[in-house]
A and B are shown apart, each in its own frame.
Chain A
């Protein structure tokens, strides 16, 4: 089976099965359009530790049927257990994985990454918890008017 060579930002070289890495639309298009086989493809935005996680994902999903054109509306935590396990990451690594999925154009991985972040936001009972969870410093940016308007809006939506 033909393989593809990749180099990560920290200069590690990977040799991967075509079938596996072709889940990345970026690599697939590069290889098929440019017909590069032997020269390793540089990935300046992806570190090896991130690529390791991406490869884990690719292995889990290598036999998946092609995704439907129209995304199906699913609940935020409607993921298979393997994906949930895979996404048990520190936030900085998760951000790297999401960015890598975006860069490599792997829609499925991007989707579960976004779902997981959304799930973490959803677990927070209020904005204090969100700030705590994502290490966002307090900001004194609201005027009295803004606070009043925001309260009104919140009352409208939350009841």
Chain B
């Protein structure tokens, strides 16, 4: 018998069974030993097809007690350890059908099962089914790893092309809407970001903890104190653990989120600072003093002041070197920091198609072709940046629209509809169809104006004048929890994968951490 089946291949490695058999045999009398080993020897010499016949004979000569003994032994012997005997690609196929609970049981069984059950192949798939969406099989989802982590490194060369600079003509009608030449942004080397890798199973486990804590909700709370007046803007980078807050007290503060220590105070603005954003190579802020300032990402020194707006700058947003800013007079400017020029989005003035009041938030959409803005004139407008004209107006709020957030494309009935959520001083939150401008739903719950909104694939969070922070289910639109910190009205809010960060009227920044809850 030269062909070994997998049952015997496996036993060869262990060899225990054969040893026990030999020991048992040794205890018998000499004559019996010869007889029994002759039967075994002869049997194992037979080919598979002849073995059946030999067995038939043995069965024939057996009485009921032996047959019962056989049938009892067979139950154990025909059990097969699939994971050990099957090739690994088939094992992965089997394990891919299991849920997290069963996979955990699998890794407890034994070493070889653990190796299989813990493998990155399996857990990466589990993560891709659950993270940032709801799983179609089990119906629950885990929050995304890091929504704020910027993956791209800013452009290498920021030196201007002098010829191109001149194409920006300064002959526009009014002072506030004309093109403004600015000195192009000098290149600041980006702060290196440490990228850690960990097993997918650990990622899944971490996400599960966060998801569960969000549902309860259970979190640790840390208060970052330092600002002496209301906090109007927040920006956060999970990878660096850096949070920067902008305040009414004319300063910005940089915080180490892990220790809660203020690592820098950015002084220079002469009036309330309304907005802030940063990446590895620059920090940009805007202020009611009509300026935009660029700060060094490490030393926190002001490296540039951009003037151009004729009214206080309420909001900024940038992607790479394209910066948008919205001002108190309703003007939105788009700056190309690499080329050093800017223009304003004026719309068709005749159709009255521009903001008539404070522009509270601007956001350049991915692709840098479109821009969203919301205003005290109760509207939100989607702009085409190249043609400088409005594409769509979202109107329906009866109070100033303070903020908006894009909802991530995700699971569920209307997953294909891209949506945007707005918060207004009319106390409501509204969800809009991005492509048609149609109102989808209105969320009631806050008893005073909504100052801050953020959203990910699973939830919306909102902060309000009524001193509360509410968490909303993105699918049902139900408020699932209300935090009542009673620290003055909540003026800004930020949602990251594991944290909910709010800034309030009193100047405090509160960080709620859903991963490290102790």
Binding site for B on A (CB under 8 A): 9-11, 44, 47, 73, 75-76, 90-95, 98-99, 102, 110-111, 114-115, 117-119, 121-122, 124-127, 130-131, 133-137, 139, 141, 150, 153-154, 156-159
Contacts and interface: CB of A to CB of B under 8 A. Distances in A.
B94 A130 contact: no
Interface in B71-100: 76, 78-83, 85-87, 90, 93-100
23 contacts: A11-B49, A44-B3, A91-B80, A92-B79, A92-B80, A93-B78, A95-B85, A99-B86, A110-B93, A114-B97, A118-B102, A121-B94, A121-B102, A127-B105, A134-B83, A136-B110, A139-B110, A139-B111, A154-B104, A157-B100, A157-B205, A158-B101, A159-B212
A73 B208 contact: no
User: Per DSSP, are chain A's interface residues mostly helix, strand or loop, or mixed?
Assistant: helix
B80 A157 contact: no
A109 to B, nearest CB: 12
B367 to A, nearest CB: 28
Contacts of B391: none
A59 B437 CA distance: 55
A154 B114 CA distance: 13
Contacts of B83: 134
Given A73-B136, A95-B6, A134-B81, A124 B105 contact: yes
A124 B430 CA distance: 47
Contacts of A102: 87, 90
Nearest 10 CB-CB pairings of A with B: A156-B205, A118-B97, A135-B79, A127-B108, A91-B80, A90-B78, A76-B97, A114-B94, A114-B93, A92-B78
Given A124-B105, A139-B110, A150-B107, A134 B90 contact: no
B86, B101, B110, B137 — most chain A CB neighbours (10 Å): B110
Contacts of B102: 118, 121-122, 124
Contacts of A130: 105-106, 109, 113
Contact of A98 (B86, B108, B110): B86
B137 A118 contact: no
A95 to B, nearest CB: 5
Contact of B7 (A47, A92, A94, A156): A92
Contacts of A95: 6, 80, 82, 85-86
B90 A98 contact: yes
A158 B104 contact: yes
Contact of A122 (B78, B93, B98, B206): B98
Given A91-B79, A159-B212, A136 B109 contact: yes
Contacts of A47: 48
B82 A134 contact: yes
A9 B80 contact: no
B201 interface: yes
Nearest to A119: B97
A42 B106 CA distance: 37
A110 B48 CA distance: 25
Report the interface size class on chain B. Answer: 35 or more
Given A73-B136, A114-B93, A114-B97, A121 B106 contact: yes
Contacts of A92: 7, 78-80
A102 B111 CA distance: 25
User: Per DSSP, are chain B's interface residues mostly helix, strand or loop, or mixed?
Assistant: helix
B500 to A, nearest CB: 20
A47, A110, A125, A127 — most chain B CB neighbours (10 Å): A127
A94 B6 CA distance: 13
Contacts of A141: 110-111
A90 B99 CA distance: 24
A114 B98 contact: no
Contacts of A73: 136-137
B202 interface: yes
Given A91-B79, A121-B106, A130-B105, A157 B208 contact: yes
B204 interface: yes
A44 B2 CA distance: 12
Interface in B418-441: none
B209 interface: yes
Contacts of B96: 118
Contacts of B93: 110-111, 114
A157 B200 CA distance: 12
A105 to B, nearest CB: 12
Contacts of B111: 139, 141
Contacts of A127: 105-106, 108-109
A131 B108 CA distance: 10
A157 B201 CA distance: 9
B75 to A, nearest CB: 9
A75, A118, A119, A156 — most chain B CB neighbours (10 Å): A156
A66 B317 CA distance: 51
B80 A94 contact: yes
Contacts of B104: 153-154, 157-158
A110 B90 CA distance: 8
A118 B94 contact: yes
B78 A91 contact: yes
Contacts of B201: 153
B223 to A, nearest CB: 27
A156 B209 contact: yes
Nearest to B16: A137
Contacts of A125: 105
Interface string B370-405: 000000000000000000000000000000000000
A150 B357 CA distance: 58
B297 to A, nearest CB: 34
A130 B374 CA distance: 58
